[in-house]
């Protein structure tokens, strides 16, 4: 791998794998088990942020051991529904297109190791991936920019030679803080209007839609900037 090779950083949950609503269900069950009535819509609005921040914001000052119990239960229930996970339409094709453009594919996620293993198996695209991050790499994940900065370091590139693809406002905020342009997809359940207002540089229905319009996206612009070529 050459130094400073440009990269496209990808969120996985809700961006490449259809998992967000399974996460909502798992969090609902986890909160319910400890006697906390967390509304599903509030949980969905928090998907994509750091898990500890999510629990803290929705647990109403619960003790540390209770918050840890919630996280443990979430993982347990998410694993129980993992057979329902599906690769989102066009996900692998998008990664293939990115590689064909001479750009790196980096999975820039803060999923823990157990979740990441499940997601990578569903995505079934490790042959296209140059680098991966996970929860063990940072103390606090999105909306803080740390996971993106680590992904850039692993790719051996810089913020001005990268694009991020994600599905939540938390992704946009983290990218703005890291100085990386972010392309949004609707497959995580956040509206086009919200993503655009948060400053996403283009919003597409899903990975397949982005793949079909890659020339008119920030990814196409990056490839043109670096290689002087269009898809």
Angle at 98 between CA 96 and CA 101, to 5 degrees: 110
Q: Specify the DSSP element, H or E, that contains 154.
A: helix 146-155
pLDDT > 70 in the chain, percent: 97
Report residue 106 as tokens: 């980096």
Confidence of residue 61 (pLDDT cuts 50, 70, 90): confident
| Predicted local distance difference test score (pLDDT) of residue 6 | 96
Instruction: List CB contacts of 124: < 8 A, sequence separation 6 or more.
Output: 87, 92
Superfamily of domain 20-84: Putative phosphatase; domain 2 (1.10.150.240)
Report which secondary-structure segment, H or E, holds 183: strand 182-185
Residue limits of CATH 3.40.50.1000 in the chain: 7-19+85-227
**Per-residue pLDDT at 4:** 66
Q: Where do the CATH 1.10.150.240 domains begin and end in the chain?
A: 20-84
- Which pLDDT value is given to residue 5? 86
pTM over 0.85: yes
Cα radius of gyration rounded to whole Å, the chain: 17
**130 three-state secondary structure:** coil
What is residue 225's predicted lDDT score, i.e. its pLDDT? Answer: 84
From the candidate CATH numbers 3.60.21.10, 3.40.50.970, 3.40.50.1220, 3.40.50.1000, the one assigned to the domain spanning 7-19+85-227: 3.40.50.1000
Length of the chain equals 231
Least confident of 25-39, 46-60, 181-195: 46-60
Residue 231 banded pLDDT, cuts 50, 70, 90: very low
Is residue 230 predicted with pLDDT exceeding 60?
no
Q: How sure is the predictor about 216, in pLDDT bands with cuts at 50, 70 and 90?
A: very high
pLDDT, tens digit, for every residue of 129-188?
Answer: 999 999 899 877 788 999 999 999 999 999 999 999 999 999 999 999 999 999 999 999
Quickly tell me which residue has 């740390």 as its tokens.
Answer: 146
Task: Name the residue among 229, 212, 11 with its Cα closest to residue 101.
Answer: 229
Give SS3 for 168. coil
Q: What is the mean pLDDT of the chain?
A: 94
pLDDT for the residue 50: 87
Eight-state DSSP code of residue 231:
-
């Amino acid at each position: 791998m050459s130094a400073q090779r440009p990269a496209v950083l990808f969120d996985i949950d809700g961006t490449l794998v259809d998992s967000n609503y399974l996460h909502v269900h798992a969090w609902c069950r986890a909160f319910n088990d400890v006697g906390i009535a967390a509304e599903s819509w509030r949980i969905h609005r928090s998907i994509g942020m750091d898990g500890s921040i999510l629990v803290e914001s929705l647990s109403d000052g619960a003790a540390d051991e209770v918050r840890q119990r919630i996280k443990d239960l979430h993982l347990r229930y998410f694993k129980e529904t993992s057979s329902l996970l599906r690769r989102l339409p066009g996900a692998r094709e998008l990664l293939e297109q990115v590689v064909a453009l001479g750009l790196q594919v980096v999975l820039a996620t803060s999923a823990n190791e157990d979740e990441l293993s499940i997601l990578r198996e569903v995505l079934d695209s490790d042959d296209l991936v140059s680098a991966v991050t996970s929860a063990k790499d940072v103390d606090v994940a999105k909306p803080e920019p740390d996971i993106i900065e680590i992904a850039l370091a692993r790719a051996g590139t810089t913020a001005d030679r990268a694009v991020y693809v994600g599905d939540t406002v938390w992704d946009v905020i983290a990218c703005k803080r890291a100085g990386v342009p972010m392309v949004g997809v609707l497959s995580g359940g956040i509206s086009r209007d919200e993503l655009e207002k948060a400053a996403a540089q283009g919003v597409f229905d899903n990975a397949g839609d982005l793949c079909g319009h890659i020339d008119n996206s920030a990814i196409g612009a990056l490839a043109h900037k670096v290689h002087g070529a269009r898809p």
